[in-house]
Amino acid sequence: MKLLIMTSYDYPHLGGLSTHITTLKAGLEQRGHEVDVLSFSDVPNWKKQMIARGPAFALNKIKQGAGYVWTLKRRRDFLKELVKERLAGKSYDVINAQDVYATMAALTSGIPTVSTVHGYLTFEGVSKGSVIEESIQAKELQEAEFDMYKKAKAVITVDTRIKDYIKETTGVDGNMIKNFIDVESFKPEVERRSEFRKKHNISEDELIFFVPRRLTKKNGVIYPVLSFPPVLEKFPNARIVFAGTGEMMEEIKIKASELGVANNITMLGAIDHKEMIEYYALANVVLVPSIYSAGVEEATSISALEAMGSGVPLIACAVGGLKEIVDHEKDGLLVEERNIEALSDAMIDLLSHPEKGAELATAARQKIIDEYSHFAAAEKYEQIYMEALKK
């Protein structure tokens, strides 16, 4: 099949959506399909700045959320133009849109459109403060969500909760395919720990907690810092390394300073996804401390899957899809969200008992191979594309 994957966000970029697209594309191409990607990155920069982003700032000054909705609509319009131009020179069997406004644009093409739902557009907008709960803008976003679920030839969700949400709100019965990773890239490289630590200027004797998360509220990134003082009391050579950017960065720095742990915190900012493999390998433990925020829960976290695939012990909070992928005390540790003491205890536990962490990591790697391979996921996507063609 000739397939077009579309997103109204930038591609490639640092984040789970971009990783999903790259990994899905690789799996589908390995199965013999031709796959192209169309994204907001294909829009000329002057259009992005002057039409999509520029007016949004002024609109948000008038009414919080107005600029956010404006930008999403402009992204949709730009993708409509781009897909029309693309179809003038090439045909596709199916379009797989990766978000609500990309689905809107794809539907204008007349090509069978499958919509992959990675989260809750409206609730996530509220959670990060882009729109006000129950506002006109929030209601408009939710109407757009529901409309697109109904119009797509098929809907794919990345976890059971999203699938149930769509069924309850629209009656549409989606197909649940959990997130997945490239198991050939994210594999155990712990034996190269010294090499990667030297490359990234990290001391051999430090005990590293790696937090591969966008620094946003729902990812719970403040909680490793809040939980850190008791860990440092027992392990003064421990360090937390954050990889990501977001609105919580300054709050993390301020809280680390207040708690006296700032010298043992490293903020890498945005790093290339290929380098993430090296940071997983040099870490002693990976933390995915997601929380429930404004109706939003973590889906099947790609960061958690990558950690599990990389042969490093994982501590995650027991929310959303994380509860579906981590089997507590068998292939990782789950702690109650926002529970500072429980997170401290789990961090100390794995540093105190490295052999336990190694056993968890071995079991996690096997689970990833068996259940979360991009090869198996690509086959499932292929079946849904074929069903969409028949409708």
Tens digits of residue pLDDT in 41-87: 999 999 999 999 899 988 988 899 999 999 999 999 999 999 999 99
Q: Tell me the DSSP string of 248-305.
A: THHHHHHHHHHTT-GGGEEE--S--HHHHHHHHHH-SEEEE----BTTB---S-HHHH
| Rounded Cα gap, residues 278 and 201, in angstroms | 12
Full set of structural domains in the chain with CATH: 2-180+373-390 (3.40.50.2000), 190-371 (3.40.50.2000)
Task: Please give the backbone phi and psi of residue 346, each rounded to the nearest 5 degrees, phi first.
Answer: -65, -40
278 pLDDT above the threshold of 70: yes
Work out the angle at residue 182's Cα, subtended by the Cα atoms of residues 196 and 165, and round it to the nearest 5 degrees. Answer: 120
What is the value of pTM for the model shown?
A: 0.76
Q: What average pLDDT score do residues 298-304 get?
A: 83
Does the pLDDT at position 295 exceed 70? no
* Percentage of the chain lying above the pLDDT 70 cut: 99
Q: Are 21 and 11 in contact (CB under 8 A)?
A: yes
Find the radius of gyration of the CA atoms of the chain: 21
Q: What is the pLDDT of residue 151?
A: 97
Q: What is the mean pLDDT of residues 259-264?
A: 98
Q: CA-based angle 315:303:343, to the nearest 5? A: 20
pLDDT at 196 over 80: yes
Q: Comparing 294 with 276, which gets the higher pLDDT?
A: 276
- How high is the pLDDT of residue 301? 87
